[in-house]
Structure 1
């Protein structure tokens, strides 16, 4: 495979303010540390339509952990559990519950990515190393970010194997059909009080990102709670990281609830894109996924706000899918309830019909729905 960059890939530079000195080609995988990877894999296959791809564990020579790799179109999840007591993975799960440990980024040169970010102040997580098998070689490196979350840079241009060296193909009989999820649209991080600007500056200085949009407590507030958010993006727009922090409100916000139960900063949600949100959400509901709901009154004047859309309003209303518009077009989005026992991580399903924004017009309805869930948990 030839060297890849924005020019050879013909990737437009969507965020003109971004320096884009790495550059980043896309999200390679998202790794979650979980208490039981075998059962978690069954959940993401059965409920979310992910397909089995690769496996690493005792049978491949690992003694301390096991990992199942799942894929749906361009989305890869790695589910990792410890095989022994003690150790880093156990500590992570004890502190945070199941959660995202690594956001792996596909790059053309993992050694250069490491050098560029660490010389700008990033703390090293993984010095560049090359792993090999009969499929070729993969170069990995990594840096620390907010909380215990890390970025792993993955260079795989000289690899033809199933996932990466150390893994073998996983081909069980059980393979539920997918639900139409296509790629990672964005990944949202929650950080503590007054830490949003610090981490936005980190992405700007260390990784060459630029701010795409910002929301303050006037944009994201209800009668009771508020939060602040800024969206950082790389140059080609393939990697977008909104960063949230709490803001003063009368009651405890969803960000405060998250930080309390996650014991610090971490990934709040993954936004997964689909080309047909009605079909995707219908399939997910049939498989047991629970979504936040908004009052039926939301749909009484939504078309007055967003204008004409291609979809019929009735199925959107029935499913609870939200609609918003910006200068580029409109989007459709919906959010699950927390998918873990702790009220921490959830998943957003999004379909963009030209829109580049993040649903600002839906914030009030969405956060009131979250507050209703918080109230039921006694954490508002």
Structure 2
């Protein structure tokens, strides 16, 4: 594992990334997909844009929990070529990882001036709640894009043109909120030897820097291995891990994603919570399924924790084991994390829930156990 201290030169003062804004999924049925995240993950309806609101081409349903905003978009009419091609290739997947920025025009001009491919030039969106400025570029991998959102002059629930959608989900009254707080990081999977090109896109086009990395000598199992580099903005608010497969005895889980997604794309989104025990208890009660980790993992974990005297995990280890929550630690602190099983028919996208206790890593100590768990599921799918 390598942590990088050199951020490189700061970008211009107006080019400042404030955090993740929203993630947009292109799906076959936006209404049902949004309902799934409401019922299973405890999100609440936030806004919408569809026939009832005057929209004629694309239907979007937006849900929110804490500061996490997910937008699900489908075509309203047949022969929408962009969505048809995307869904035929990838299945349901992440189209847009949007970032809140200080100055949309400055950020767009900076990225495009450095060679990023524009998709939508800076555009002012306006309604009774104020105005927002948005612009979109192609990301450095696959069919994913990044939208820059400047929203300090907007007070509405999502964006202009998306009326608020107030709906009292009955599960809210019976199952408390999981308490998911914000997007911690978004991970892309790429083909072999593609990782460095993607990393360089973020560094050269957006002014990001290398934050953390591991190679295939550290992340390997009996069957497969991977390489990963995390890039982030100068202020370290937007973190994007970039993965690629390394040569192994069998097809790695990274390659499985690339095969079924038909190219690179977002593999998972990590959602941060201050109380992962409550979060996973509520999510399991709502029917969310997670990867399973053998009891031997916790026996080994207890031995590793007992061999050092600087880190003390406050949470009850018995409860963590019952819920299947993983623990990683270093000299600075520890983190708790867990991963859902794939959420789509294709074994592509999944979600992570993470709680940090003075640890800014990405669970490298858990990667082997995680990959072995995924490989067990791969074997059941006949893909190992």
Q: Same fold (TM over 0.5)?
A: yes
User: Which residue is equivalent to 1:143?
Assistant: 137
> Are 1:37 and 2:41 an aligned pair?
no
- Distance in structure 1 (CA, Å) of the matches to 2:330 and 2:121: 42
User: Which residue is equivalent to 1:7?
Assistant: none
C-alpha contact (below 8 Å) 1:15/1:234 kept by paired residues = no
C-alpha contact (below 8 Å) 1:193/1:245 kept by paired residues = yes
> Are 1:351 and 2:345 an aligned pair?
no
Gaps of 5+ in 2: 306-310
- Distance in structure 2 (CA, Å) of the matches to 1:107 and 1:288: 36
User: Which residue is equivalent to 1:11?
Assistant: none
Among residues 168, 181, 206, which one is paired with 2:163 in the alignment?
A: 168
Q: CA, structure 1 residues 77+18, in 2 after alignment: closer, same or farther (shift >3 Å)?
A: farther
Q: Within 5 Å, give how 1:113-152 maps onto structure 2.
A: 113-145=107-139, 146-152=141-147
- TM-score, length basis structure 1: 0.94
**Which stretch of structure 1 is more off in the superposition, 250-259 or 170-179?**
170-179
**Which stretch of structure 1 is more off in the superposition, 207-216 or 70-79?**
207-216
- Distance in structure 2 (CA, Å) of the matches to 1:308 and 1:301: 16
- SS of 1:187's equivalent in the other structure is strand
Q: What is the alpha-carbon root mean square deviation over aligned residues?
A: 1.3
- Distance in structure 1 (CA, Å) of the matches to 2:354 and 2:118: 33
- Deviation, structure 1 residue 264: 0.5
- Distance in structure 2 (CA, Å) of the matches to 1:196 and 1:353: 29
User: Which residue is equivalent to 2:368?
Assistant: 364
Q: CA, structure 1 residues 254+339, in 2 after alignment: closer, same or farther (shift >3 Å)?
A: same
How many residue pairs get matched? 367
- Distance in structure 2 (CA, Å) of the matches to 1:139 and 1:298: 48
- Deviation, structure 1 residue 89: 1.6
- Distance in structure 1 (CA, Å) of the matches to 2:189 and 2:257: 8
**Which stretch of structure 1 is more off in the superposition, 23-32 or 173-182?**
173-182
C-alpha contact (below 8 Å) 1:73/1:182 kept by paired residues = yes
C-alpha contact (below 8 Å) 1:181/1:274 kept by paired residues = yes
- SS of 1:349's equivalent in the other structure is strand
- Distance in structure 2 (CA, Å) of the matches to 1:356 and 1:135: 37
C-alpha contact (below 8 Å) 1:20/1:207 kept by paired residues = no
C-alpha contact (below 8 Å) 2:59/2:74 kept by paired residues = yes
- Distance in structure 1 (CA, Å) of the matches to 2:317 and 2:299: 10
- Deviation, structure 1 residue 150: 0.4
> Are 1:309 and 2:313 an aligned pair?
yes
User: Which residue is equivalent to 2:7?
Assistant: 17
Q: CA, structure 1 residues 72+301, in 2 after alignment: closer, same or farther (shift >3 Å)?
A: same
- Distance in structure 2 (CA, Å) of the matches to 1:288 and 1:90: 30
- TM-score, length basis structure 2: 0.93
> Are 1:56 and 2:46 an aligned pair?
no
User: Which residue is equivalent to 2:230?
Assistant: 231
- Deviation, structure 1 residue 327: 2.9
- Deviation, structure 1 residue 20: 4.4
- Distance in structure 1 (CA, Å) of the matches to 2:78 and 2:154: 33
